[in-house]
C-alpha cells in the first residue's frame, strides 16, 4: 500500500524555544493524549532525544494494543522524530517541526508518514477513517499546546514551583500533573506504598498519621486532592465513616505537617465539593453561602475546617468546591457513557435538579489561576458559570452522542437502589456560580455544556 502523509500546522503565540521545551518536558505525552482516546505509558527510556524509546498501552475501540516507538532524530528548537518499532501500522514516522514566526511566535507542524496494513479492498475506507481520526487528535493536541503555553506564560511565577500533591493517581491529579510538569514545575507525589527509588515520591499514611516530608528542600505549594470516592455503592455507616475520615484525617495530617516546616509553602489548595451547599433547589449559590443539611454537606464542612493549622500558620489556603467534572476517564460522565451509547440514556427523577458541572480543562485552568493569584483564599467554586438541569444535561449529551434519551429513572428506584447516596448525589439540586473565579479574571475555556462535551468526547463537528 502507498505511503500516506498527514500534516497539521498551527501558529503558537510563544517563542520557538518555549514551545520546544514544553514538548521535551515530562508529561507531554500524557498531556497530548485526548481523553476520548487515552493512553498509558508502560515503559519509557529518555525523553525526546535520539535513541529514546517509549511503549504505550492504547485501545482500538475496546481492544488494547501496545505501541513501541523510538526517537530517531533530534535537533533542538527545530525538530524531533519518532518511528514505530511495533504497533498497528506497517510504517509510522512522526516528525515534530518548530519554526520561528513573526512577532516572536512559533509555527508548530506535525508531519506523519504512514502505511496501513490492509488489503486494497478496504484501503479507501481505512484511509478515510484514519485521516478523520488524525485530524481530530491533532486539532486537540495543537489546541492544548497553545492554551497551556499561553497559561504558563501569563501569570507564571518568576521561578518554577515545587508542588506537593496528594491524590496524584486520581482523575484530577492525573490530569493536572502533566500540565504542571510541562510548564516546568516540579511535582512531588504523596503515595501510600514504598516510594520508587530516585523518584519525586513521599510516603504518607493518613490512617496512622505518618507523612515523611524530611529531606525535601523546598515546597512552594500543596495541592490536596485525596479522598474516598463518594458514589461507589450505598452509604452504610461504615462507609460514611470511611468517607469522612479519608478527608478529615488526610487534610489535618498535611496541614499540620506543612505548618511545622522551617519554610512552609506559600499556598495550600484543598479539594472540596459543591456538595457543601446540599440540596438547595433553584437557589443561586455563591461562596458566601453556608453549608447545607446533608451528610455530604457536613463532610465538606469538616473537610475544609481540617485545614485550619495551615491557615493559622499564615499559609494562603483555598478550598476547591469542585462540581461534576466532565471527563470520560472517570466520575459521573464515564459511568453513563455506555448506557447512553446503547440508547438507554434518560433523565433522573424529575429532571429539574440542577447540575453544577465543570470541564476538566477548566479544573486545570482554575487550579493554575488560584496558584498564581495571591489574592485568592478561602472557598472557590470550581464550576461553569452555566449550570443546567438534569433534563437539559440529558438532552445535550444525547445530541452529542447522536442517541435518543427516551428513558426516565424514577426517584423511587434510586431511593430503593442507592438510598442516601442516590438522594444526595443523583437527586440533589445544587445551582452554584463561580463568583470568585469570575471576579478575579479567570477566563473559562468551556462554559457551554455542549462545547465541553464535544471537546472531551472528540465530537467536534456539529
Asked if residue 122 has pLDDT above 50, the reply is: yes
The residue ranking higher by pLDDT, 32 or 217, is 32
Give backbone dihedrals phi and psi of 181, rounded to 5 degrees, phi first: -70, -35
Please give the tally of structural domains in the chain.
2
Burial 291-330 (b: 16+ CB within 10 A, else e): bbebbbbbbbbebbebbebbbebebbbbbbbbbbbbbbbb
Asked, for residue 462, whether it belongs to a domain, the answer is no
**Are 126 and 179 contained in the same domain?**
no
pLDDT, tens only, 59-117: 887 889 999 999 999 999 999 999 999 999 999 999 999 999 999 999 999 999 999 87
pLDDT at 74: 98
- pTM of the predicted model as reported, rounded to 2 decimal places: 0.94
CA distance 258 to 212: 11
- CA–CA gap between residue 335 and residue 37 (Å, rounded): 16
Question: Is residue 174 predicted with pLDDT exceeding 70?
Answer: yes
* Domain-terminating residue out of 87, 120, 153: 153
Residue 268: domain span: 162-457
Give pLDDT, residue 395.
Answer: 96
**Residues 138 and 172 both lie in one domain:** no
- Asked whether residue 76 falls in the same domain as residue 174, the answer is no
Is residue 53 within 8 A of residue 70, CB to CB? The reply is: yes
Say if 283 falls within a structural domain: yes
Q: Which residues are registered as beta bridge partners of 162? A: 186
Asked if the model's pLDDT at residue 156 lies above 70, the reply is no
Q: Please tell me the predicted confidence (pLDDT) of residue 155.
A: 65
Note whether 107 and 209 are same-domain residues: no
Q: Give percent above pLDDT 90 in the chain.
A: 86
Per-residue pLDDT band for 189 (boundaries 50, 70, 90) equals very high
Q: Are residues 96 and 193 in the same domain?
A: no
pLDDT of residue 120 exceeding 70, the answer is no
Is 337 inside any structural domain? yes
Nearby residues of 4 by Cβ (< 8 Å), 6 or more positions away = 113, 114, 115, 116, 127, 130, 131
d(CA 148, CA 153): 9
Instruction: Return the CATH number at 272.
Output: 3.40.50.720
Of residues 118 and 326, more confidently modeled: 326
pLDDT of residue 229: 84
Of 121, 146, 126, which is closest to residue 8 (Cα–Cα)?
Answer: 146
Burial of 250 (0-12, 13-18, 19+ CB in 10 A): buried
166 shares its domain with 52: no
Amino acid at each position: 500500500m502507498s505511503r500516506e502523509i498527514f500534516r497539521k500546522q498551527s501558529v503558537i503565540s510563544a517563542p520557538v524555544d518555549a514551545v520546544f521545551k514544553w514538548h521535551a518536558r515530562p508529561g507531554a505525552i500524557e498531556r497530548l493524549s485526548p481523553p476520548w482516546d487515552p493512553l498509558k505509558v508502560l515503559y519509557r527510556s529518555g525523553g525526546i532525544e535520539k535513541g529514546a524509546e517509549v511503549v504505550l498501552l492504547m485501545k482500538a475501540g475496546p481492544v488494547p494494543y501496545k505501541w513501541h516507538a523510538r526517537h530517531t532524530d533530534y535537533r533542538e528548537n527545530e525538530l524531533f522524530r519518532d518511528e514505530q518499532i511495533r504497533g498497528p501500522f506497517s510504517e509510522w514516522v512522526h516528525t515534530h517541526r518548530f519554526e520561528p514566526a513573526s512577532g516572536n511566535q512559533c509555527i508548530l507542524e506535525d508531519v506523519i508518514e504512514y502505511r496501513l496494513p490492509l488489503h486494497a479492498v478496504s484501503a479507501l475506507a481505512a484511509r478515510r477513517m484514519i485521516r478523520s481520526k488524525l485530524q481530530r487528535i491533532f486539532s486537540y493536541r495543537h489546541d492544548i499546546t497553545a492554551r497551556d503555553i499561553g497559561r504558563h506564560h501569563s501569570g507564571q511565577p518568576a521561578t518554577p514551583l515545587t508542588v506537593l500533591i496528594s491524590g496524584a493517581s486520581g482523575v484530577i491529579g492525573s490530569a493536572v500533573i502533566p500540565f504542571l510538569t510541562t510548564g516546568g514545575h516540579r511535582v512531588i507525589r504523596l503515595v501510600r506504598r514504598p516510594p520508587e527509588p530516585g523518584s519525586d515520591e513521599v510516603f504518607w499514611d493518613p490512617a496512622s498519621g505518618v507523612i515523611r516530608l524530611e529531606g525535601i528542600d523546598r515546597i512552594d505549594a500543596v495541592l490536596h486532592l485525596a479522598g474516598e470516592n463518594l458514589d461507589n455503592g450505598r452509604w452504610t455507616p461504615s462507609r460514611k465513616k470511611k468517607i469522612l475520615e479519608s478527608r478529615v484525617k488526610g487534610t489535618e495530617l498535611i496541614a499540620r505537617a506543612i505548618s511545622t516546616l522551617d519554610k512552609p509553602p506559600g499556598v495550600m489548595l484543598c479539594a472540596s465539593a459543591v456538595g457543601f451547599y446540599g440540596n438547595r433547589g433553584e437557589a443561586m449559590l455563591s461562596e458566601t453561602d453556608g453549608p447545607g443539611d446533608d451528610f455530604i454537606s457536613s463532610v465538606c464542612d469538616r473537610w475544609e475546617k481540617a485545614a485550619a493549622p495551615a491557615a493559622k500558620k499564615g499559609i494562603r489556603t483555598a478550598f476547591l468546591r469542585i462540581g461534576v467534572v466532565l471527563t470520560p476517564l472517570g466520575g459521573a460522565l464515564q459511568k453513563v457513557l455506555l448506557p447512553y451509547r446503547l440508547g438507554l440514556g434518560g433523565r433522573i427523577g424529575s429532571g429539574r435538579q440542577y447540575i453544577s458541572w465543570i470541564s476538566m480543562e477548566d479544573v486545570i485552568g482554575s487550579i493554575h489561576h488560584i496558584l498564581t493569584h495571591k489574592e485568592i483564599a478561602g472557598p472557590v467554586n470550581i464550576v461553569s458559570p452555566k449550570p443546567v438541569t438534569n433534563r437539559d444535561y440529558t438532552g445535550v449529551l444525547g445530541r452529542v452522542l447522536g442517541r435518543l434519551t427516551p428513558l426516565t429513572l424514577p426517584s423511587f428506584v434510586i431511593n430503593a437502589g442507592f438510598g442516601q447516596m442516590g438522594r444526595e448525589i443523583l437527586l440533589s439540586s445544587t445551582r452554584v456560580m463561580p463568583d470568585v473565579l469570575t471576579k478575579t479574571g479567570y477566563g473559562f475555556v468551556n462554559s457551554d455544556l455542549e462545547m465541553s462535551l464535544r471537546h472531551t468526547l472528540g465530537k467536534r463537528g456539529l
